[in-house]
Amino acid sequence: MKKPIVLVLALLPVRAAFAGDPSSYKEQNLKGKVRTVILCTGDDSTRLVCYNKISYDRQGNELSHIILYSDGTHGDSTYYLYQDGRLIEHDNISWRTKFRYDATGKLVEASRYTRADSSLAERVLYSYSADGSENGEKSYNKDGQLNHDMKVTYSADGQIETYYLPSGQVQLKKEYYYDKNGDLSTHKEFMAADGEGMQRTLKYTYLRYDRQGNWVMRSQVHSTPDFQVRTFTARHIEYYE
């Protein structure tokens, strides 16, 4: 039986696939006119399995994100719709997500609907600082009840996202730090649940770059208090002529 290839260790530097565009040029730190990126991973750099294919238009907008199965066939796919250069909707087999912007072009709301009956499942509202940088988001369930309140703070080399439960208790904290090339170097998570915490850290080392300056091979070390494992990720990048 074919199984989808699911990457757990090589996390993307984003808070959630729902709340934005996780494979954008900005998040992937892509340079040049990229047409497609195929991501492959494994615990040996010479034997990697490909699991995702991402396609872009000439402006760097993501067009599709396709899950690859181990037998080479395609699984669930997400497709993206734009209007005037802005992402307004993306769809997959389970969800349809719609995005709304203010008069200045800032994303202010994202609403996710089930494909089965088109009912609202989640709504996220975004907030910004005076300098235009995002400083938080609030997620609400289908009944309008608060799921979490997330706050963003920035440093010279990264950012910290802190998620609060409706009670005000910290639910999750994520830290992202970047190297001089703008690539993710360290990702830390601390999850608090029932008074107990779980921490994990991913450290990235970039091993090869292509002529455009995009990384094409990296290793990541995933550490928790109980174990440590090293894996490899390759990016096969095709460019527009």
Mean pLDDT across the chain, nearest whole number? 86
Question: CB 29: neighbour CB atoms within 10 A?
Answer: 17
> 52 near 72, Cβ under 8 Å?
no
Place of tokens 């920035």: 154
How far apart (Å, rounded) are the C-alpha atoms in residues 176 and 116? 35
Is the pLDDT assigned to residue 211 strictly greater than 80? yes
> pLDDT exceeding 90 applies to what percent of the chain?
68
| Radius of gyration for the alpha carbons in the chain, expressed in angstroms and rounded | 18
Q: Please give the domain boundaries of the chain with CATH numbers for all domains.
A: 25-239 (2.40.160.190)
Condensed to tens digits (0 to 9), the pLDDT of residues 140-185 reads 999 999 999 999 999 888 999 999 989 888 888 999 999 999 999 9
pTM score: 0.83
Residues 223-239: what's their mean pLDDT?
94
Q: Helix/strand/coil (H, E, C) string of the chain?
A: CCCECCCCCCCCCCCCCCCCCCCCHHHHCCCCCEEEEEEEEEEECCEEEEEEEEEECCCCCEEEEEEEECCCCEEEEEEEEEECCEEEEEECCCEEEEEEECCCCCEEEEEEEECCCCCEEEEEEEEECCCCCEEEEEEEECCCCEEEEEEEEEECCEEEEEEECCCCCEEEEEEEEECCCCCEEEEEEEEEECCEEEEEEEEEEEEEECCCCCEEEEEEEEECCCCEEEEEEEEEEEECC
pLDDT of residue 4: 38
Is the pLDDT assigned to residue 5 strictly greater than 70? no
pLDDT of residue 46: 78
Q: Using alpha carbons only, give the angle 163, 134, 212 rounded to the nearest 5 degrees.
A: 110
CA-closest candidate to residue 202, choices 238, 172, 228, 182? 228
pLDDT of residue 196: 58
Looking at the chain, how many residues does it have?
241
